[in-house]
């Protein structure tokens, strides 16, 4: 009597498949909170049948491999949206302190210093022979100059710190691109020999997404499993197993960073670096506008102040020092006036000390709409106000765009998670199925063994 042992092989294969399924399920559960993890599924197929005595009999199941759930289109979309979010975030966060620097405190801001200084001349207009009021005007002039200087210093500091972040971002990009290039090689080698590179692909996707957030880079997967990363006009950051390094260097005359790739300026459409570069440009414009405003204040006040006479009937001298170039950083009150406030002019030459016509004209400069400072025209008050509101509008625009972008990115991430994410409910069902299959296979083998033993005993 012949004995068929094929049922033991069927049971063994079933046990192996069930155990593999349980292991994969445990792997999915363990990585439910791992960023970028793509859930795995076991791939199985029916084994070849046997045909003893002309009958087709199955021989069980075989493990073909494992499959990771990924959608390259969704992953690419997440990378694109991350780049846009990176630009908006860095732009907003870099410009928010600029608005604070311009506004200053409620009592110590530049706007208040302007109002106080010109208000001092308005008080002197009403009492043009007062020495204490003249001393107060000098004091307020010094406060105004200090306010310009401190505001300029804060803007300079913000520009420097924002510019420094470019170097940090460039170093991070270079570190990540090298990792992607290394993973390209590892994935190509693993998959070329029939191995599983799912965990390597997940790591690479995370790195690529971070690079996209920093540079706005676009990723294309090649037929060999490697990805190519490009920025701007299609210039490569990563190609195969080679990473191309960004370089950040100081550029005269301000020493601000310029980012290059292979010696040529690197173009960033999106990403943190693009936002930082935009912010540096905006801050530089604000500094230039502040310098122009300070120069306009010095020129217009000096023009009127030198057109009258002081309390002793002497021709008026310049109120502010005007050694070129006049900027917010070097604005200062004439030391002669600090030493002797009697030199402050309030009256026209024809009537020294008799009325406050000149003082009144200087006071009116605050609201005179004919002042030109750089590309802006209006009163001192409105020009400075437009500077503050301009920054505020840019911050608001970036913030509104970021809120919209956050919703888009959340939607794309949810779509990706629906494909690649781990569902604990689903894994619990899979775990129960594999458990029941394992138990059934165990019972099947036990019954097959009992049958075999019985057959063997009959032959004795």
pLDDT in tens, 315-360: 999 999 999 999 999 999 999 999 999 999 988 765 544 455 899 9
As a whole number of angstroms, the distance between CA 182 and CA 292 comes to: 51
Is the pLDDT at 372 greater than 50, yes or no? yes
pLDDT averaged over every residue in the chain:
91
Q: Can you give the pLDDT at residue 287?
A: 96
The model's confidence at residue 1, banded by pLDDT at 50, 70 and 90, is very low
pLDDT in tens, 380-399: 999 999 999 999 999 999 99
Q: Can you give the pLDDT at residue 351?
A: 52
> Average pLDDT of 90-95?
95
pLDDT in tens, 256-271: 999 999 889 999 999 9
- Percent of residues, the chain, with pLDDT higher than 90: 74
CA atoms within 13 A on the CB side of 436: 6
Q: Can you give the pLDDT at residue 350?
A: 56
Best CA proximity match to 161, nearest among 276, 291, 258, 265: 276
Instruction: Give the burial string for 161-196 (b: 16+ CB within 10 Å, else e).
Output: ebbebbeebbebbbebbebbbebbeebbebbeeeee
Instruction: Give the burial string for 397-420 (b: 16+ CB within 10 Å, else e).
Output: ebbebbeebeeebeebbebbeeeb
Is the pLDDT at 106 greater than 70, yes or no? no
Is the pLDDT at 459 greater than 70, yes or no? no
Planar angle of CA 235, 251, 152, nearest 5 degrees = 125
**pTM for the whole structure:** 0.86
As a whole number of angstroms, the distance between CA 374 and CA 292 comes to: 5
Question: Residue 121's CB: how many other CB atoms inside 10 A?
Answer: 30
pLDDT in tens, 397-426: 999 999 999 999 999 999 998 999 999 999
Is the pLDDT at 45 greater than 70, yes or no? yes
């Amino acid at each position: 009597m012949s004995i068929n042992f094929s049922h033991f092989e069927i049971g063994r294969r079933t046990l192996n498949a069930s155990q593999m399924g349980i292991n994969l399920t445990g792997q999915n559960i363990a990585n439910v909170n791992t960023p970028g993890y793509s859930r795995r599924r076991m791939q199985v197929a029916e084994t070849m049948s046997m045909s003893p005595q002309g009958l087709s009999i199955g021989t069980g199941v075989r493990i073909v491999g494992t499959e990771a759930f990924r959608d390259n289109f969704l992953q690419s979309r997440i990378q694109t949206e991350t780049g846009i979010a990176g630009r908006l975030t860095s732009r907003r966060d870099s410009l928010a302190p600029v608005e604070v620097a311009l506004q200053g405190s409620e009592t110590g801001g530049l706007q208040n210093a302007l109002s106080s200084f010109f208000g001092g001349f308005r008080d002197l207009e009403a009492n043009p022979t007062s020495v204490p009021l003249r001393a107060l005007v000098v004091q307020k002039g010094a406060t105004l100059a200090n306010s310009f200087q401190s505001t300029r210093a804060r803007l300079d500091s913000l520009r420097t710190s924002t510019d420094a972040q470019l170097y940090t971002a460039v170093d991070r990009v270079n570190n990540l691109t090298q990792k992607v290039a290394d993973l390209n090689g590892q994935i190509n080698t693993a998959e070329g020999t029939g191995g599983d590179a799912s965990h390597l692909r997940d790591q690479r996707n995370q790195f690529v997404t971070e690079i996209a957030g920093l540079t706005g880079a676009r990723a294309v997967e090649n037929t060999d499993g490697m990805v190519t990363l490009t920025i701007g006009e299609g210039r490569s950051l990563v190609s195969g197993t080679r990473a191309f390094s960004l370089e950040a260097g100081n550029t005269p005359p301000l020493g601000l960073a310029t980012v290059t790739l292979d010696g040529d300026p690197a173009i960033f459409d999106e990403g943190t670096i693009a936002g930082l570069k935009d912010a540096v440009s905006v801050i530089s414009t604000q500094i230039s506008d502040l310098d122009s405003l300070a120069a306009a204040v010095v020129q217009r006040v000096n023009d009127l102040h030198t057109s009258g006479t002081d309390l002793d009937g002497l021709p008026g001298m310049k109120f502010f020092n005007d050694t070129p170039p006049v900027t917010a950083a070097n604005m200062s009150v004439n030391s002669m006036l600090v030493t002797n406030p009697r030199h402050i002019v309030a009256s026209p030459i024809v009537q020294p000390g008799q009325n406050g016509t000149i003082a009144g004209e200087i006071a009116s400069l605050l609201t005179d709409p004919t002042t030109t400072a750089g590309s802006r025209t209006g009163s001192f008050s409105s020009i400075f106000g437009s500077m503050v509101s301009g920054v505020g509008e840019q911050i608001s625009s970036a913030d509104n765009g970021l809120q919209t972008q956050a919703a888009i990115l959340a939607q794309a991430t949810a779509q990706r998670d629906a494909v690649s994410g781990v569902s604990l409910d689903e894994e619990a069902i899979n775990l129960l199925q594999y458990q029941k299959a394992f138990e059934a296979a165990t019972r099947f083998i036990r019954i097959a063994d009992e049958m075999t033993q019985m057959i063997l005993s009959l032959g004795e």
